[in-house]
Structure 1
Amino acid sequence: MSENKSIHEFDFTLICNYFKSIERQGPGSPEVTRKAVSFINELSDSAKIADIGCGTGGQTMILADCIKGQITGIDLFPDFIELFNRNAINTHHEDRVKGITGSMDNLPFQDEELDLIWSEGAIYNIGFERGMNEWNRFLKPNGFIAVTEVSWFTSERPAEIEDFWMDAYPEINTVPAKIAQMEKAGYTPTAHFILPENCWTEHFYAPQVPVQEAFLKEHSENKAAFEFIANQRHEQNLYNRHKEYYGYVFYIGQKRD
């Protein structure tokens, strides 16, 4: 059945065309971004920030409202970056927010260049543990990292949701396990909190409904498009049924000297 297909099996162009129509490419909200900022030391105008896996910048523009400094957004998809830079202009942040195309496993920063690394709903592309370890060198001593990561809330869960996530993202783990990985990678964990349910329902899944209808009309001859939408709807149904067992967690840490 198409429902059981992993998102990794779908064409990147198809995925990009779908998600560029949505303000957020993953669960989150302006309130959650602002809350995460509250756990970070105040930055100066000369601070350097990277938003890694920035998508079209839904969260980046909120971040720019909350902090000082220069923000570089990085994403693999040129279409996302084009929209990102348009959003920066529309929100009057173009003087200090710039998007560039690039890969999170080959970042264009110098060692100890950044004061803050931000990544909402994206570190899974490289893996939480690998990202925490590899990105550490780009941070100044005492610099901050703030990422959201899908995590288990319980030590046991129904096989249906366990199987789905082990296929989609085998690195999914419990909150204490993720915090331990942060510590091992050279950070002092300063805060963590679970993203509220509305980050999924109101800010991520609800906006997809009209987009799905338009997407299916546009790709009416494309079997993969129908399979992709079935996959998205299946994921939403799983969340509705099993949300007490998993969700996104914001992890915030400070690089140790």
Structure 2
Amino acid sequence: MKNENTLIHDHDISLICDYFSILQRQGPGSPAMTLKALSFIENLDTQSRIADIGCGTGGQTMVLAKHVTGHITGLDLFPAFIDRFNKNATRLGLNDRVKGISGSMENLPFEEEELDLIWSEGAIYNIGYKRGLEEWRKFLKNGGYIAVTEASWLTEERPSEIHKFWMDAYPEIDTIPNKIAQMQKAGYIPIASFILPEECWTDHFYIPQVKSQNIFLKKYAGNKKAEELVTYQQHEAQLYDLYKAYYGYVFYIGKKLNNM
């Protein structure tokens, strides 16, 4: 298939942003899985401070906001995502305690030990799972929680095509036991982990893209880079259909160990 050896970050950033901005989710997941992860987190109240890092347009953030009473800050690198995030918060009547800001996950605008919960669905790979766990830890209060989804191998061995795809795209992908061990080594008590079911990829991510791809291609008619981006996303969906037994997204939830 054409462009099968390219990676998502090889494409034009502005086109990627525009492509994903019209989607409710920018990665695999679902409201049910967001709430399942939330069920493992204790001691949140009206005074709690929560950060959703790499929040995108806030699909999962708004689900969180409907089920917790604290204040949530969504952070994303792309201003277009944040603009839609804040519009969504206003539309849902949540803007009094839910706010999106533009910024980098490599330089978070929080004070040390300010946060009760750090959330990140489908985004920590941008900084790297290990680095994110280590660097973000200082922003959590003692006993605070972190909940992230991360691409993970579901088997010890896998076909060469999908192995190469992920080694090129995200070499830090690893098995679930190794990811849990990394969380523990980074200074957290591993609380829970679970694999996102197939519908998080299909019903909530790839299928909604079909309609948006038609809209996107009409908007950028004749734009070769836009066509290549759509081709890449279609190829990624085909790979998942072929090799979903070997990899997936996994929710990892950890609790910060008290500072010694």
TM above 0.5, one fold?
A: yes
Which residue of the partner structure matches residue 135 of structure 1? 136
Matches within 5 A, 1:154-169: 154-169=155-170
The one-letter amino acid of 1:110's match is E
Which residue of the partner structure matches residue 220 of structure 1? 221
- Separation in 1, partners of 2:69, 2:51: 13
Q: Is the 8 A contact 1:42 1:67 kept in 2?
A: no
Q: Is the 8 A contact 1:4 1:231 kept in 2?
A: no
TM-score for both structures, normalised by structure 2: 0.98
Q: CA deviation at 1:161?
A: 0.3
Q: CA deviation at 1:3?
A: 2.1
Which residue of the partner structure matches residue 97 of structure 2? 96
Matches within 5 A, 1:178-257: 178-257=179-258
Which residue of the partner structure matches residue 46 of structure 2? 45
TM-score for both structures, normalised by structure 1: 0.99
- Separation in 1, partners of 2:196, 2:233: 20
Which residue of the partner structure matches residue 57 of structure 1? 58
| Secondary structure of 1:206 counterpart | helix
Q: CA deviation at 1:160?
A: 0.5
Moved over 2 A (4+): none
Q: Is the 8 A contact 1:3 1:227 kept in 2?
A: no
Which residue of the partner structure matches residue 176 of structure 2? 175
**Paired residues, number:** 257
Q: CA deviation at 1:44?
A: 1.5
- Separation in 1, partners of 2:252, 2:58: 19
Q: Is the 8 A contact 1:85 1:94 kept in 2?
A: yes
- Output one character per residue of 1:68-111: Cα deviation in whole Å (capped at 9) or x when no partner: 21000000000000000000011111111000000000000011
C-alpha RMSD over aligned residues = 0.6
- Separation in 2, partners of 1:83, 1:217: 21
| Gaps in structure 2 of 5+ consecutive residues | none
- Output one character per residue of 1:40-62: Cα deviation in whole Å (capped at 9) or x when no partner: 00311111000000000000000
- Output one character per residue of 1:84-142: Cα deviation in whole Å (capped at 9) or x when no partner: 00000111111110000000000000110000000000000000000000000000000
| Most deviating of 117-126 and 62-71 | 62-71
